[in-house]
Structure 1
């Protein structure tokens, strides 16, 4: 099966948006919702899905602001509670009483938040290169290397960033987005063209950047003294469902320090480090990621 074999549908969700959703696998197989991150779409899973579709019902949305889903322009439309509402409404739309949840990058942030909130329908949680929010925030205050690696967040929050991208062009922005993570020569020309076409739509870039602008994560400038936000000192509830973390250790944006202490955030945490793999592990190393996910998602 190839990405072209994905079924796609557009759903009107009770959370107030229309969402494009890609589908693969048998309707009667165990359901798995897969949430992509920045700056992608359901295409994050283009190489991974064919390796899982024989065993699972894969539900792969374009999250709000991305791909072919609605693109609200207000920053507040991307607050965590709105993004969680989309996830829960998506599960409602497919009448799921349980599902495994997989998240990469920003999709992982929403997946972490849903599990922390105690969404009762989540049976298993798989995270790919996405830090637990408490540990990520601590690292912005306590780790100079991670703070330096996170300065792109400050850039994305700048209200003039769209003008910057317009000035350099979307082709150059594509190269800047991916060059530090993967060999650009391994990205097929049609993939590059698809991403650039999606990003070039009216309001698309602002919608994607609003995920960063609505986030409560504090990223101070390098060298600046900063205190831990209240939510870190208060702590967050432990996660009760089994969690498997698959982490490309060559991630230049989210350093391996994000794995320090992650075993304490839940009752059943497993870590699968991937040496030689970077941030975009789902399509950089789909075979390895599928081998780590498939038995876990099946409960084997």
Structure 2
């Protein structure tokens, strides 16, 4: 199964590198990667899904060789959701399945909440529901401690630090400890090439800086966001959540109470870390394909 690259100018003003596979007449599915990766997050899922789907996997804005507009304001979630809808529009797709991992999952949650007319089915891999994530950052000390890296990534001096130590050292100290080293060692040159594109590191970090998620310091007393004590709209789409249970950054507490926010929910727990799509590809492929076959 071939995976074809495209350079697509979206109506949102950015150009994205996009990979497609499968029959364009088949049911469409868009796959969204997270930090600090690219469409290659889904390299094992693309050919598996393309057997009976039209698969669309972009390098999202700020990543690899896709557009990197300057300014934190260009990485707010609403702009990235707009990219997803514009990408579907480019292919003439009205309703589609949407899958996301990490930040791609955060975008997918928001797209499903805001555009139920466009998102038919939702698949999430190790990306917390926005309400539960914010809640655990206030109520779960372990999750708050595990999320302190977000505060570090928002530090405006971080790029100078990375310049001093070099991309390879940054890879080894910040990224590698959260991955299956044996499975991604050969991928390190790919990451360094993508991270080394002009403006890439700042653009990727701007996703964190543009987010409204409040991450209090460990042990600090912080004002609780008002929306945590108000009704939160449900996800109306059938939803599959795949969770690598050895994730060190996004803890299994993100599954607690999820069913009250997602009435039509299936959860598959996998013995893997945060980067479950390529750490446990066979299990993820089976979960996605079986679930989509049932729901379609």
Into which bin does the TM-score normalised by the smaller protein fall?
over 0.9
Query: CA–CA distance in 1 between the matches of 2:292 and 2:69?
Result: 33
- How many residues align? The count is 295
Q: Which of residues 216, 219, 231 is equivalent to 2:215?
A: 219
Q: Which runs of 4+ in 1 moved over 3 A?
A: none
Note the 1:100-111 alignment, pairs <5 A.
Answer: 100-111=97-108
Residues 42, 67 of structure 1: 8 Å contact kept = no
Partner in structure 1 of residue 47 of structure 2 = 50
Q: Is the 8 A contact 1:47 1:283 kept in 2?
A: yes
Output the aligned Cα RMSD. 1.2
Contact kept in structure 1, 2:65 and 2:197, CA below 8 Å: no
User: How many Å apart are 1:234 and its aligned residue?
Assistant: 3.0
Could you tell me whether the CA contact under 8 Å between 2:26 and 2:54 is conserved in 1?
Answer: yes
Partner of 2:66: 69
Secondary structure at 2:178's aligned position in 1? coil
- Please give the residue correspondences for 1:252-267 in structure 2 after superposition, counting only pairs within 5 Å: 252-267=248-263
Matched, 1:296 2:296: no
Map 1:138-149 to 2 at 5 A: 138-149=135-146
Q: Which of 271, 275, 281 is residue 280 of structure 1 equivalent to?
A: 275
Alpha-carbon distance in structure 2 between the residues aligned to 1:46 and 1:28: 22
Q: Is the 8 A contact 1:178 1:184 kept in 2?
A: no
Distance 2:190 2:176 in 1: 17
The answer as to whether partners of 1:34 and 1:103 remain within 8 angstroms in 2 is yes
Could you tell me how far apart the structure 2 residues matched to 1:14 and 1:236 are?
Answer: 31
Uncovered stretches (5+) of structure 2, i.e. residues with no partner: none
CA distance in structure 1 between the aligned counterparts of 2:227 and 2:13, rounded to whole angstroms:
28
Tell me how far apart the structure 2 counterparts of residues 83 and 235 of structure 1 sit (CA, whole Å): 25
Residue matched to 2:201: 205
How far did 1:80 drift? 1.2
Residues 116 and 236 in structure 1, CA contact (< 8 A), matched pair in contact too? no
1:168 Cα shift?
1.4
TM-score, scaled relative to structure 2: 0.96
Q: TM-score normalised to the size of structure 1?
A: 0.95
In the TM superposition, what is the alpha-carbon distance from 1:188 to its structure 2 partner? 4.2
**Unaligned stretches of 5+ in structure 1?**
none
